[in-house]
Every structure is written in C-alpha cells, then in structure tokens.
Amino acid sequence: MIKEIIVVEGKDDTTAIKRAVEADTIETGGSAINRAILDRIRLAQERRGVIVFTDPDHAGERIRKIISGKVPGCKHAFLPQELAEKRGDIGVENATPDAIRSALANVKTDYEGAVSLLTWEDLIAAGLVVHPDAAARRLEVGKKLGIGYCNGKQFYKRCAAFQISREEFEAAVEQLDRPDQ
C-alpha cells in the first residue's frame, strides 16, 4: 500500500494505478481543476502526502503546474510518452503495471524555494537549450533524471525544484552523448 494519495486525471487512470499498486487516488476530472478538488488535494497533502501522476502531455503538465502552484511540497511521478501511448492516445491509463510501478518508484519531491544546483550555462553547454536538437536532448535527459519532458525554462525550474545535483545531471548528459547509448 502506498501511503501517499495519487492524483490522476480520470477513472481510467485510477483503474491503471490499481492494477499496478495498492493506492488511493483523487481524480481531477481533467484539466479544469476546481476549488473543491484542490481543497481535497491540499487536505490529502496535509494528512498523507500526495503524488501527482498526470498524463505526459500538455494537459497533464498544465494540471501538474496548477497543483504544484496551489499545493506545495507534492511528490511527482513521471511517465515517458512512449510508455503511455496506445494507438495514438497518450495517458497513464495506457501504461503497463510495470511502467507505473517504475514511475512511482522514482518519484521526485517538489522543493519550494529551491535554489538551483545548476546554471543556465550548464543547460547551454549540455545542448539542452539554444541547440538545434535541444528538445530531443531534453526529452532524453529528462527521462534519465526522472523529471519528464518540458521546455528549457521549465526544465531548469524542475532541476531546481527537484534538487537535481550536478553529478546526476552530468551523468545523464554523459549517457546521452555516448554513442553506444
């Protein structure tokens, strides 16, 4: 049984989570999160803790951002898009139980007011911003770090929020740059 309550988008996501692990969920009902849902998430965070586990798409990232802004200190589970896709549909409900368990085993905690352990120049030097293949490189490094895909500015913020160390960052970039990987 997972102690924290897992926040998902809908009923199908809850079904997929329950196939993979024993856990309680809160369903946001999509991207139009209302005050009542945020109040439930806030109470869950105070009592048991929360893991935000939304779809790896634009709507899921929007929900994640709203929750993070309104309920500080949440944990986050990230699922790579290719592990959440079925016949062109992207969502947690399409992931295998193993993929869900792996994402939950690698949760990251949002640390409010975190000072980045990396600089913007580190991202430039790694080719994660201001580079012709920056988006593809961020996708791969985000997978390796377990923080998901996002644009350059959000990537920098996530590295700070999840306190990604220079060592973790450099190891992920090094794996990306190895020709055998």
For residues 10-33, give the mean pLDDT: 93
Q: What percent of the chain has pLDDT over 70?
A: 97
Concatenating the DSSP letter of every residue in 57-116 gives SHHHHHHHHHHHHHSTT-EE----GGGSEETTEESGGGS-HHHHHHHHHT-EE--TTPPP
Instruction: Give the amino acid at 87.
Output: R
Spatial distance between the Cα atoms of 7 and 16, rounded to a whole number of angstroms: 13
Spatial distance between the Cα atoms of 181 and 176, rounded to a whole number of angstroms: 7
Mean pLDDT of the chain: 92
Spatial distance between the Cα atoms of 104 and 101, rounded to a whole number of angstroms: 5
The least confident of 52-61, 104-113, 132-141 is 104-113
For residues 138-150, give the mean pLDDT: 92
pLDDT of residue 30: 80
The sign of the torsion formed by the CA atoms of 60, 63, 65, 68 equals negative
Spatial distance between the Cα atoms of 142 and 19, rounded to a whole number of angstroms: 26
pLDDT of residue 180: 64
**pLDDT beyond 90 at 5:** yes
pLDDT of residue 179: 64
**pLDDT beyond 70 at 12:** yes
What residues contact 87, with CB distance under 8 A and at least 6 apart? none
What residues contact 84, with CB distance under 8 A and at least 6 apart? 55, 56, 90, 91, 92, 94, 95, 99
Q: Give the burial class of 13: count Cβ atoms within 10 A of its Cβ; 0-12 exposed, 13-18 middle, 19 or more buried.
A: buried
Spatial distance between the Cα atoms of 73 and 46, rounded to a whole number of angstroms: 10
pLDDT of residue 116: 83
pLDDT of residue 127: 96
pLDDT of residue 159: 92
pLDDT of residue 118: 94
Spatial distance between the Cα atoms of 16 and 14, rounded to a whole number of angstroms: 5
pLDDT band at 130; cut points 50, 70, 90: very high
**DSSP helix/strand/coil, 50:** strand
pLDDT band at 60; cut points 50, 70, 90: very high
> What pLDDT, in 10s, does the model give residues 155-174?
998 999 888 999 999 999 99
For residues 106-119, give the mean pLDDT: 82
- Is beta strand 5-8 parallel, antiparallel or unpaired with respect to 75-76? unpaired
